Amino acid sequence: MNITADILQVLALILGAPLVRGIIARMKAVLQRRRGASIWRPYAELFKLLRKEDLVPPTSSAVFRLAPIVLFGATACTAAFVPLVHASALLGSYGDFFLLVYLLALGRFFLSLGALDGGSAFGGMGASREALVSSLAEAPFLLGLVALAISASRADIAGIVAWTLGQNIFNISVVHILAFTSLAMVALAETGRMPVDNPATHLELTMIHEGMVLEYSGPSLALIEWASAIKLHVMLALLIALFCPWGMVSTWSGLGITLAVLLYCAKAAVLMILLSVIESAVAKLRMYLVPDFLGVASAVSALAVIFTMWVRR
């Protein structure tokens, strides 16, 4: 029964990912007093792209077509690490957060290579900027998670979640606040959101992720878009699972599950509102201010690790 629940969770994470994007886009539209598209539109887009043919530059190599596949495989695999409504995950007990972070890195590595293979200046520009952002984002990402792992004295994500579930919600420590701050900042950078990257831009001065995928079309583009939606959803679910897991069930009962799903949706909605407010209110940072942004995140996460010393006893 548990395995079934875990597999269902993974599918929900992967299949629900485009919906998260749609809802955020709609919320942003409402905040900006536009009518906005339907929240189901990302699905329609995926279907449209998947039915088309792949356009491949004649000068490119096999890596160009391989990159979206690896990106999708690696990103989808991270979905198996994060508990959603059931307080365990398919790979939650053996796979730890180092594996999760590095699977994301695997996808990103290949996407950057695919971008360079297109042979245009835009791909190189995107890949070069992504290299800067992601190389600086990795340290705060891991340090924030390390702080939580030390407090829980567990390294697997399911274990950290189980430990947090056993705590009182009012018992929140400074470690959690610091770790949340740094992880939220990293999540913005990792998923290519404001103020690090603008997901809506198509201007070469500003784009990072969009620059990398400029040469892609058809099913390749669909896989890339889907993978980045999964990444966004995984980061969202990770923040919820690590910092506010209360309401997750560990046994299988109809009422409990319904309640847990509803609670998850509510928590996700809060985060999505937060994200759309940030995206509407904040301007994109200048490229060379991004290292400062990530430097702050690194400092905060290092503080979180240091403070675990005093919180534990």
Partner 1 sequence: MLTGSIGAPFAFLLAVLGIVVPLLLIASRAKSVQRLAIALILAASFAGCLVAVFGFRRQPGTVVDLSRATPFPFSFDVDRLSALFLLLVCSVAIPVTMFAAPYFDRHYSEQRRNWTWAFFSLFLLSMIVVVTASTGFAFLAGWELMTLVSAGLILIEGESAERRHNVFIYLLMMHAGAAAVAACFFLFLPFSHSLDFGAIRAAGAIVPPGIRTAVFLLAFVGFGAKAGIIPLHLWLPRAHPIAPSPVSALMSGVMLKTAVYGFVRFSFDFLGGGPAWWGYVVLLAGAVSGLLGVLYAIGEHDLKRLLAYHSVENIGIIYLGLGTSLIFLACHAPLLAALALIAALLHTFNHALFKSLLFLGAGAISSATATVDLEDLGGLQSRMPVTGTAFLIACCSIVGLPLFNGFISEWLTFRSFLAGSALTNAKAQIVLPLMVGVLALIGGLAAACFVKAFGVAFLGRPRSTEAEHAVEVPLPMRSGMALLAAACLFIGILPGLFLRPLASLVQGLIPGAGVPEETLSIARIMPWIAVIVLGTGAFAALFKRRKRMARTWACGLPGLSTRMQYTSTVFSKPIRFVFARIYRPDRTVERLPVDQPYFPASISYRSVRTTSYERALYRPFVDLIVSLAHRLRRLQTGNIQVYLLYIFLALVSLLAFLRFQR
Q: Is 192 left (phi over 0), alpha (psi -120 to 50) or beta?
A: left
Using CB under 8 A as the binding criterion, the count of chain residues that bind partner 1 stands at 86
Contacts of 118 (CB under 8 A, 6+ apart): 57, 60, 64, 214, 215
The nearer residue to partner 1, 151 or 276, going by C-beta atoms, is 151
Report yes or no: 2 and 87 within 8 Å, Cβ to Cβ: no
Q: Which is nearer to partner 1, 127 or 268 (CB)?
A: 127
Tell me, rounded to whole angstroms, the distance of Cα 132 from its chain centroid: 18
- Asked if 11 interacts with partner 1 (CB under 8 A), we say no
Q: Does 113 bind partner 1 (CB under 8 A)?
A: yes
Q: Using CB under 8 A, which residues numbered 128 to 147 contact partner 1?
A: 128-129, 131-132, 134-143, 146-147
Between CA 81 and CA 308 the distance in angstroms is 24
Least separation, in Å, of the C-beta of 199 and partner 1?
20
Rule CB under 8 A: say whether 69 interacts with partner 1: yes
Minimum Å gap between C-beta 140 and partner 1 is: 7
Name which of residues 170 to 199 contact partner 1 (CB under 8 A): none
From residue 220 to residue 249, what is the string marking binding to partner 1 with x (rule CB under 8 A)?
x-xx--------------------------
Host H or E run for residue 277: helix 254-281
Joined together, the tokens standing for residue 221 give: 């583009």
Residue from 1, 3, 62, 169 in contact with partner 1 (CB under 8 A): 62
In angstroms, the CA 253 to CA 102 distance is 35
Nearest approach, Cβ of residue 268 and partner 1 (Å): 23
Per CB under 8 A, 160 contacts partner 1: no
Query: What CA–CA distance (Å, rounded) separates 165 from 244?
Result: 8
